[in-house]
């Protein structure tokens, strides 16, 4: 099951429903960065009271994904230049190491990763918000699939923790650079070819360049 289809079939509590909505819908939308969230609006959208929304916001505040500002409410913080650099430096460390481990173990999940790229290809011409977020969710799944194939629980846990920020900045990047979707598909294919050929040096170059391109788009002022 992919990350994007991880919602359980069981009925979520009000708090959990609010948490998942905020995490997967609100906080992955770059247009919300720097804005304050309305407890009442979210409660109305979900058909619940404000109390579980407030509880969900407290959990997200504990993770550093929102900021609770006295007398003003919950704000979605925009990432600083330093945080963007740190995020991509972290991704490079994890993803290059994941490529190393999976190539060495002969455990590269090529079939799954190729399917994800094919699904991205189907969305690369669409520019609306829903399609853009779906495209970036597949992008996240592509990289996460490689990391998960290491079966290193500490690497996986650390990488999954950046998922929300990864989706937000990825969506922002493809809106800033109209042809970025096509580039992402090409870059993912280059990574796959290097992994399939068990060429670690080529895989590292492809991963580093892929991340650098997105980072540089985000750092443009």
The CATH number assigned to the domain holding 126 equals: 1.20.120.530
- The residue-averaged pLDDT of 44-53 equals 94
pLDDT at 213 over 60: yes
- Specify burial of residue 152 (Cβ count, 10 A radius: 0-12, 13-18, 19+): middle
Assess whether 156 and 85 both reside in one domain: yes
User: 187 and 206, same structural domain?
Assistant: yes
Domain count, the chain: 2
pLDDT at 178: 82
Residue range(s) defining the domain that contains residue 128: 81-219
In a shared domain, residues 111 and 206: yes
Q: Please tell me the predicted confidence (pLDDT) of residue 108.
A: 96
- Asked which of 21, 49, 75 is the last residue of a domain, the reply is 75
Same domain, 52 and 92: no
Q: Same structural domain for residues 122 and 203?
A: yes
Is the sign of the CA dihedral 76, 164, 207, 176 positive or negative?
Answer: negative
- Indicate whether 128 pLDDT > 90: no
pLDDT, greater one: 72 or 156: 156
**Residue 71 within any structural domain of the chain:** yes
Q: What is the tens place of the pLDDT at every residue in 7-33? A: 444 577 989 999 999 998 899 899 999
pLDDT tens for each residue of 69-121: 998 999 999 999 999 999 999 999 999 999 999 999 999 999 999 999 999 99
Sign of CA dihedral 210, 211, 216, 217: positive
pLDDT of res. 129: 85
Statement to judge: residues 121 and 145 lie in one domain: yes
Average pLDDT of the residues of the chain:
92
DSSP string across the chain: --GGG---SSPPPHHHHHHHHIIIIITT-GGGTT-EEPHHHHHHHHTS-HHHHHHHHHHHHHTTSSEEETTTEEE-PPPPHHHHHHHHHHHHHHHHHHHHHHHHHT---HHHHHHHHHHHHHHTT--SHHHHHHHHHHHHHHHHHHHHTT--HHHHHHHHTTHHHHHHHHHHHHHHSTTHHHHHHHHHHHHHHHHHTT-HHHHHHHHHHHHHHHHHHHH--
pLDDT band at 6 (very low <50, low <70, confident <90, very high): very low
Query: Same structural domain for residues 104 and 184?
Result: yes
Q: How far is CA 6 from CA 3, 10, 78, in A?
A: 5, 12, 26
Instruction: Quickly state the pLDDT bin for 2 (edges 50, 70, 90).
Output: very low
What predicted TM-score, i.e. pTM, was given to this entire model? 0.86
pLDDT score, position 5: 44
């Amino acid at each position: 099951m992919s990350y994007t289809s991880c919602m359980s079939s069981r009925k979520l509590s009000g708090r959990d429903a609010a948490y998942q909505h905020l995490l997967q819908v609100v906080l992955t939308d770059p247009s919300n960065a720097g804005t304050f969230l309305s407890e009442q609006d979210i409660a109305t959208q979900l058909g619940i009271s404000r109390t579980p929304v407030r509880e969900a916001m407290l959990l997200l505040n504990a993770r550093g994904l929102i900021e609770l500002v006295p007398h003003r409410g919950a704000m979605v913080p925009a990432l600083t230049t330093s945080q963007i650099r740190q995020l991509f430096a972290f991704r490079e460390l994890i993803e290059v190491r994941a490529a190393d481990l999976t190539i060495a173990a002969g455990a590269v999940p090529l079939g799954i990763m190729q399917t994800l790229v094919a699904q991205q290809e189907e969305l690369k011409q669409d520019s609306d918000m829903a399609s853009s977020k779906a495209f970036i969710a597949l992008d996240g799944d592509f990289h996460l699939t490689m990391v998960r194939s290491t079966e290193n629980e500490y690497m996986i846990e650390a990488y999954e923790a950046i998922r929300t920020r990864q989706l937000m900045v990825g969506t922002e990047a493809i809106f800033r650079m109209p042809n970025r979707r096509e580039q992402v598909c090409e870059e993912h294919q280059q990574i796959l070819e290097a992994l399939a050929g068990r060429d670690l040096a080529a895989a590292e170059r492809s991963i580093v360049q892929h991340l650098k391109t997105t980072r540089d788009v985000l750092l443009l002022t």
